[in-house]
A and B are shown apart, each in its own frame.
Chain A
Amino acid sequence: MFHWLEKHPFFFAVAVFVTIAFAGLIEILPNFAEASRPVIGTKPYSTLELAGRHVYIKNSCNACHSQLVRPFKSETDRYGHYSLSGEYAYDRPFLWGSKRTGPDLMRVGNYRTTDWHENHMKDPSGVVPGSIMPAYTWMFKNTADIDTAYAEQITVNKVFNTPYNQELPMADGTKATVKMAATLDEAHADALAEAKVIAADMKDQDVKDAVEAGQIPEIVALIAYLNSLK
């Protein structure tokens, strides 16, 4: 067979490709599949959190803030455990970022709270002296796009099998379920219920009034997203 291959350059090239590709498959694919499996404790985003993620992307937060804690002592001391690839399983797209003008936000939900975010987004340098981050006051007025967030939920659920409405194991041994609504109206109601919990911890009266009236300002969605980053 080898003598035959030596006389047929085209099939020889095919055989070389098949051999190397096979080696690549068994070397790369199992590791890749293992590493990209969701880490225990990783949950898909709820409707409101997804809307907040869209606000995050829309305002290019990822241009200044990374979401990737590297395995260095100096980083893990400041931000918490280094990032694992499985933690991005439900991030579409991931928001690693490539430049840190501001701090990393991979686990910001562990050490910042709703009221802090509210103060900070209104007047960053009032909370962090010397901060060069601009204020994002329009987020307190603009309304979050729940329709798109719900559409994304349905899409990732259908196309990528993202496990909504399923019990997922958490790090502490409990189970958690992230709900995906059956209808758009239900999705709006769910997001509003979630927004009310966040607005209760906020001080801005306009935001509270808007949520009371059934509107969800972008800031509420963004805070829901930031609080979910753990």
Chain B
Amino acid sequence: MNKTILAAIAFVLLMAGATYLAVGGAGGMGGEGDWVNKLAVLGAVVLFIVTTFVVTKYVRQMQNDRAGGKLADENWDGIGEFKNELPFGWAVIFLGLTIWAIWYFLAGYPVNAYSQIGEYNEEVAAHDAKFEAQYANMDDATLKEMGGSVFIVQCAPCHGLQADGMDGKAANLNHRLEEKSIKHVIQNGSNNQILGMEMPMPDRNGLMNANTGALITDAEIDAVTKYVAGGLKGTEGADVFAGVCAACHGPDGKGMDMVAPSIAEFNPTLIANVLKHGKKGAIGQMPAFNNLTEVQVKALGAYVTSLSK
């Protein structure tokens, strides 16, 4: 018998014995009927036998085999290559990969490809769905709370955290109108699409006082400015208001649909229109905020309206 095979058999017996001892001899083999140990030993023995005979086969092949067959034309510094047939398994893998590649180029990649924007769209859709479900039926308190949080992010940089306009840098939203703004509008007119459409208010050269039948005077402007800024209370300026402003803004100053906005109080529609179109007045320009969702606009309307109440 070949020396290699004898060595192999001896190696198998040695390793099997070592495994037997390692699990604790006959005691370990299952005085208590431990079948896991038995399985382990059996597995080990099978592994040794298979490994040993496979290795032995190739070792013998290396010892005995002689090169044969037809040489390819090329050789590199005397090292040549046989023209062997392509192994069958390789051919199968090659064909399989070709079919997979056709699928991957035509369907696999185009349909399932990752895209950052695709992930973004999914993220937005999921968030919007969650948002809609969570705030489908909001009560007034939740709406106002949401408005408050939107306000901090979007509005506070100009109007301030207290919505006071930060010393006249923006409109004070705790009052409907301040003297400076009222005077500016009467002097210069206004066309801010606060009603959601073009509806310009004339400047002082277009404001008739119905009581006197003449254009509004400086004294009357001062009086009515104080009256409107004071929240349309008291008597001073009330007659001017009735004669000049009430025709469009209504006797109570709450405005009229399609004619003039409320100058007595904020309301959600007015706020929504200002957010949509922006406005320009005595203080400066406010940009439009069109990136807010409908619910956010509604919430801001509720919040800002509540500030002056």
Contact A114 B166 (CB under 8 A): no
Interface size on A, residues (CB 8 A): 24
7 additional contacts (CB under 8 A) given A3-B73, A112-B157, A129-B161: A71-B119, A72-B123, A113-B285, A113-B286, A114-B284, A115-B285, A119-B169
Contact B120 A72 (CB under 8 A): yes
Q: Which residues of A contact B160 (CB under 8 A)?
A: 129
Contact B287 A112 (CB under 8 A): yes
| Bound-complex Cα distance A113 to B161 (A) | 19
Interface residue B117 (Cβ < 8 Å from any Cβ of A): yes
Known: A127-B158, A127-B166. A71 touches B284 (CB 8 A): no
Known: A6-B74, A77-B291. A127 touches B284 (CB 8 A): no
- By DSSP majority rule, is chain A's interface helix, strand, loop, or mixed? helix
Shortest Cβ distance from B118 into A: residue = A71
Q: Which residues of A contact B286 (CB under 8 A)?
A: 113
Smallest CB separation, A223 vs chain B (Å): 12
Chain B interface (Cβ within 8 Å of chain A)? 73-74, 116-117, 119-120, 123-124, 127, 153-154, 157-158, 160-161, 166-167, 169-170, 283-287, 289, 291
Contact B284 A201 (CB under 8 A): yes
| Bound-complex Cα distance A112 to B158 (A) | 9
Shortest Cβ distance from B115 into A: residue = A71
Shortest Cβ distance from A107 into B: residue = B291
Residue from B73, B120, B284, B291 within 8 A of A116 (CB atoms): B284
Contact A82 B120 (CB under 8 A): yes
| Bound-complex Cα distance A127 to B157 (A) | 6
Contact B157 A114 (CB under 8 A): no
Smallest CB separation, A92 vs chain B (Å): 25
Contact B169 A201 (CB under 8 A): no
Interface residue A111 (Cβ < 8 Å from any Cβ of B): yes
